[in-house]
Amino acid sequence: MDHSEPNLVDEHFQPFVRPLGNLVIAFALAEAELLDLVSEMLGGDEIKAVAVLKSRDSKERVLSLAQLIGLGGYDLEELVSKIESFWRDKEDRNRLIHDRWFPNLYERRVATRGLTRAKEPKEIFGTPTIEEVWSLARRFQSYDDLFSHRAYVLRRDRGATV
């Protein structure tokens, strides 16, 4: 690892640099695999998959597609559960990435403050911990694995080049 570049953030935030970096990359990889999965659910049409994922009701549309790919039992339950938790975790990730970070001097920790994107925005405060950020990054890594596997199986089953 190259230590010639200094940390660019204040000392309060430095313990979060590595876990947040892992979160950013794990999320990007999981999101790419979700795009691949949705594309395969749509017969390999990546353009339609992008449209689904950009829609306001993207989670519901992906959940509907999951019901149509021929899974049953545990496989379907697992996929549906992971899709739902992916979207919940994506909200948590978005709070960490887009909210304002500041030192909470009274509690000797960091805090975040943001506004919801609702018609009537609400103020949201958070007090993230390093362990929570690592846990979130690991969950995105597990979504990456599941989405990748399901896309592979769909591609294989429809006879596409894997």
| Integer Cα distance of 3 and 51 in angstroms | 41
Q: pTM of the entire structure?
A: 0.89
Taking all residues of the chain, what is their mean pLDDT, rounded to a whole number?
A: 93
CA 63 remoteness from chain centre: 16
If pLDDT is split at 50, 70 and 90, which confidence band does 76 have?
Answer: very high
CA 60 remoteness from chain centre: 16
Please report, for the chain, the start and end positions of each structural domain, with discontinuous segments joined by +. Answer: 23-93+130-157
The residue ranking higher by pLDDT, 85 or 6, is 85
Residues in the chain: 162
105 phi, psi to nearest 5 deg: -65, -30
Contact 41, 69 (CB under 8 A): yes
> Average pLDDT in the 103-125 region?
90
In the 8-state DSSP scheme, what is residue 15? G
Taking the CA of residue 103 as centre, how many other CA atoms within 13 Å lie in the half-sphere pointing to its CB? 10
Span 124-152, pLDDT tens digits: 999 999 999 999 999 999 999 999 999 99
* Sheet containing 100-104, strands listed edge to edge, beginning at the edge strand earlier in sequence: 100-104, 109-115, 123-126
